[in-house]
Structure 1
Amino acid sequence: MAKTFNQMVSEALAAVPAISPTEARQRIQQNPRTLVIDVRDVADISGTGIIPDAMNISLGTLTYKADNEVDENWREPALRDRSRPIITTCEVGPMGALGGKLLKDMGFANVTILEGGTQAWKDAGFPTKQV
């Protein structure tokens, strides 16, 4: 049976925990190994900016960049460790949720979604940077 975008987002949010911007910031400060992945296409980041030190890996490329079985040239080295803490985000949340679920499905054990995305991060008064 075909699924809609909203159904896939709902499934992702049910499968992967979401955290507030404040909790995300605390986790980043407490554990410098925490990787924030913004899954938007780079052209879509200019509106809100990106969380400082976040890595931009578009949702379309995350599938193979997180796969340890594809050619090494296609992989993202920061994603080798399946136990590394990862927070996924996008502008307002849905695409970040899909990215988080994708990583969980691929065996990543410590994935959370930034509730409300980078916009909620900014609304909480936290900085972003332009790319």
Structure 2
Amino acid sequence: VSTHFWNVDVEDNVFAILRDTEGRTAMLHSSSTQWKHRFNLEIYMSEGYLSVNGILSSTRSYGDETVTIARKKFDEGFATGKPREEIIYFDTDPSWELEVADFIRHITEDSPVESGNSEQALKAMQLVFDIYADDAK
């Protein structure tokens, strides 16, 4: 966590390496000093990877939204380190409509919220707190 660029009490860069109890690792970098808007989420697994790039915002400043999927293949047709990728492009963002519909469904059906509930929000905030606390050590 650093505040080297902007003279405010909010970090301008955060780097965090996280590990869960099963040894899985995640790396996070958030920056307000990166002048070009970027969004990139990469998930690597034993049999392939998934990469989400860009965000469909009203300004389109984060670029085109794409999902790239690649599966591990080690045969003659694929060079090691250069797997065949499937790229999916998105030009509409239905997330607001889907979230509102889900919200209404939970109210009308009196059903518990499974995704994005207050317990998950508290865990996310605890993780942020832990990153700040670890930085202070």
Normalising by structure 1, what TM-score? 0.23
Higher relative contact order (Cα pairs below 8 Å, separated by 6+ residues): 1
Structure having the higher helix fraction is: 1
Normalising by structure 2, what TM-score? 0.22
Structure having the higher strand fraction is: 2
